[in-house]
Amino acid sequence: MYDIDEIKKRYQGFSDIKIKRIARNESKQLRPEIREILKDEIQKRKLNKNLLTWIYAENDTLTDFEKQSLFRKIENLKCPNCNKKRNKLIAQEFNTVVSVILWCKNTTQNKILCHYCSKNLKLKSFLITILTGWWSRTGFLLTPYTLAKDIINLSYQRKINNRIISEFIEYNNGIFRLYGTDDETVFNLISRYNDNDLETKDNSKEKQ
């Protein structure tokens, strides 16, 4: 592990672009003393003061009470998919496998939706996997595992829901600190999250 003096020298050698990237994306993972080094570099280089504002907001962690209140707010918003308020929003994991001979794509996506939209999307993912997941060597092995995982997950929906929403709140901590937790802000963040939270494994070069 580097000592503080060595870390200071490293940060002094970083380009402005790297300092900005660390400030925007990594400040939360830094130890407090390293975060201070980062802030000193931003000030010395006279970089945009908004970077300092963001670092402060990102690391001003929401209290447990604020997180619980936000959790309840999220559950009671209208659905970002159908734009209706039929029932409480739930967060679920959707897994899909698509394969064709030498190509296989395994997709996992977390979404926060109403029960109706979640149920429809879960069924759609299940049907796509069961119809198109088998047609490569990797897909043939991956498809039964994915289908079994989805069936097992039905028994852990509440646990999965709590994990995904908690991660969503944690990830957006800085934005909540800067812009508040009004319905419109939270709704827009959920919509963006649903569109972007995608993990894809593309096995397009299988060895037959």
Do 71 and 46 share a domain, yes or no? no
User: Does the pLDDT at position 8 exceed 50?
Assistant: yes
Tell me how many domains the chain contains.
2
Do 55 and 82 share a domain, yes or no? no
Work out the average pLDDT over 180-187. 97
**The model's pTM:** 0.87
Do 187 and 163 share a domain, yes or no? yes
Q: What residue has token string 């580097």?
A: 2
Residue 207 in any domain: the answer is no
User: Does the pLDDT at position 205 exceed 60?
Assistant: no
CB 59 within 8 A of CB 176: no
User: What's the pLDDT tens digit per position in 35-84?
Assistant: 999 999 999 999 999 999 999 999 999 999 999 999 999 999 999 999 99
Do 110 and 178 share a domain, yes or no? yes
Which of 21, 43, 59 delimits the end of a domain?
59
Q: Which string of DSSP letters, residue by residue, matches 61-115?
A: PPPHHHHHHHHHHHHTSPPTTT---SS-EEEEEEEEEEEEBTEEEEEEEEEEEEH
Do 95 and 171 share a domain, yes or no? yes
